[in-house]
């Protein structure tokens, strides 16, 4: 897919304008924030565009040298080298220019819930959470639990965490779905392999301006917390349930001793779920564009199997199997799966644009 020379000039001109504005020292407040975002988004595109333009100019110059008998041999050698590199550079530029998901740069809310499999599913949910924690640490991200419902045998029946950092949602968005595990549970005396599952949801976390929630749209119930949680349980009305009336989304929070802290955390989760609901509606109107994606993000879709006896992990959406189960669960190996999913998504979207 060859990008016209005029488009390369437009990219270079726009980037130069942004650089000048950022260096002027005249931007303040929201104008500076917006310019910084535009600059960060355009910089990688401008770099690849400059590489492509430079290669094309070199080719043009070398082609002129072919008429000189003394320079012809050298020019032919260099031409062959640059012409071999140009298609990959053109492809990188086309990928860099693909429309971006507006949520890609946002932090994310990570929700993991034990599915079928009882105690073993809860243990697996704990394994997945630790895998994401380690992966996040490698990326320089921060993971902060928002709420959790621990299992008596270990692991979690449910855990919700906030993941902040650069490009969190862009890298994590394909993790949403059903994760299946095949292994011998520690409680299994006969050595039989069991299959359990946990569901993962990765939701982009909005800025305050991305979604407006009015007080009149909320129904807030305060009640006494129950279950594990310390001496305050069943002695204070600290638990909070918030219902967003327009969408019917309900969020409950009881982890904190303070009613105000529970309400603040519940609102954080509610805002994220309402934003995700609005995004799903918007994407529903753009169904044709979504067909190019690796996965729909549907949380009922089985996306990956972790097979302990064979030490392998298989991502069913792209048919990729890695015989590095320990490395994936430890964090580093997950990066290989994430990169493969992103590359496949980019290739499919690029193919869709050139059809």
pLDDT at 351: 81
Q: What's the CA dihedral at 15, 20, 26, 31 to 10 degrees?
A: 0
pLDDT at 201: 92
Distance CA 267, CA 191 (A): 45
Distance CA 344, CA 317 (A): 10
pLDDT at 310: 95
Q: Which two tokens stand for residue 8?
A: 């390369």
Q: How would DSSP label each residue in 169-228?
A: HHHHGGG-EEEEEEE--TT-TT---EEEEEEEEEEEPPPTTT----GGGEEEEEE---SS
pLDDT at 98: 80
Q: With CA atoms as reference, report the closest residue to 122 among 149, 101, 141, 97.
A: 149
Averages of pLDDT over each 10 residues, the chain, 355 residues: 85 91 84 83 91 93 89 91 92 84 86 90 95 96 92 90 92 93 80 90 82 86 67 63 91 84 88 85 53 48 92 95 95 93 88 72
pLDDT at 153: 84
Q: Taking a C-beta distance cutoff of 8 angstroms, is the pair 318, 327 a contact?
A: no
pLDDT at 227: 57
Q: How would DSSP label each residue in 114-162?
A: E-TTTHHHHHHHHHHHHHHHHHHHHHT-EEEEEEEEE-TTSSEEEEEEE
Q: Does domain 108-208+297-354 have CATH number 3.40.640.10?
A: no
Q: Which CATH architecture has domain 215-285?
A: 2-Layer Sandwich (3.30)
pLDDT at 189: 65
pLDDT at 355: 62
Distance CA 68, CA 66 (A): 5
Question: Can you state the percent helix, strand and coil of the chain, rounding each to 5?
Answer: 50, 20, 30
Would you list the domain boundaries of the chain? 5-97, 108-208+297-354, 215-285
Distance CA 23, CA 39 (A): 12
């Amino acid at each position: 897919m060859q990008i016209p020379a005029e488009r390369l000039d437009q990219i270079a001109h726009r980037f130069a304008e942004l650089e000048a504005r950022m260096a002027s020292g005249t931007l303040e407040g929201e104008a500076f924030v917006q310019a910084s975002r535009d600059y960060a988004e355009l910089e990688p595109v401008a770099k690849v565009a400059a590489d492509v333009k430079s290669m094309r100019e070199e080719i043009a110059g070398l082609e002129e040298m072919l008429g000189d008998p003394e320079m012809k041999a050298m020019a032919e050698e260099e031409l062959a080298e640059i012409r071999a590199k140009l298609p990959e550079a053109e492809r990188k530029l086309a990928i860099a220019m693909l429309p971006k998901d507006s949520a890609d740069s946002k932090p994310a809310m990570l929700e993991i819930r034990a599915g079928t499999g009882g105690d073993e599913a809860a243990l697996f949910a704990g394994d997945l959470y630790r895998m994401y924690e380690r992966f996040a640490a490698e990326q320089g991200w921060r993971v902060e639990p928002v709420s959790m419902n621990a299992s008596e045998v270990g692991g979690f029946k449910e855990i919700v965490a906030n993941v902040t950092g650069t490009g969190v949602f862009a890298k994590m968005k394909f993790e949403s779905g059903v994760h299946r595990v095949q292994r011998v549970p520690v409680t299994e005396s006969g050595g039989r392999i069991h299959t359990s599952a946990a569901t993962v949801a990765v939701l982009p976390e909005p800025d305050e301006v991305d979604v407006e929630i009015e007080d009149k749209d909320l129904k807030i119930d305060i009640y006494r917390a129950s279950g594990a949680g310390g001496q305050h349980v069943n002695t204070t009305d600290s638990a909070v349930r918030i219902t967003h009336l327009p969408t019917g989304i309900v969020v409950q929070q009881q982890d904190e001793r303070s009613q105000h802290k529970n309400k603040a955390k519940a609102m954080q989760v509610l805002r994220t779920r309402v934003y995700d609901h609005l995004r799903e509606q918007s994407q529903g109107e753009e169904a044709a564009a979504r067909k190019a994606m690796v996965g729909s993000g549907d949380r009922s879709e089985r996306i990956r199997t972790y097979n302990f006896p064979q030490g392998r992990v298989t991502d069913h959406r792209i048919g990729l199997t890695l015989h590095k189960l320990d490395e994936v669960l430890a964090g580093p190996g997950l990066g290989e799966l994430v990169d493969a999913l992103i590359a496949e998504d980019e290739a499919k979207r690029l193919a869709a644009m050139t059809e």
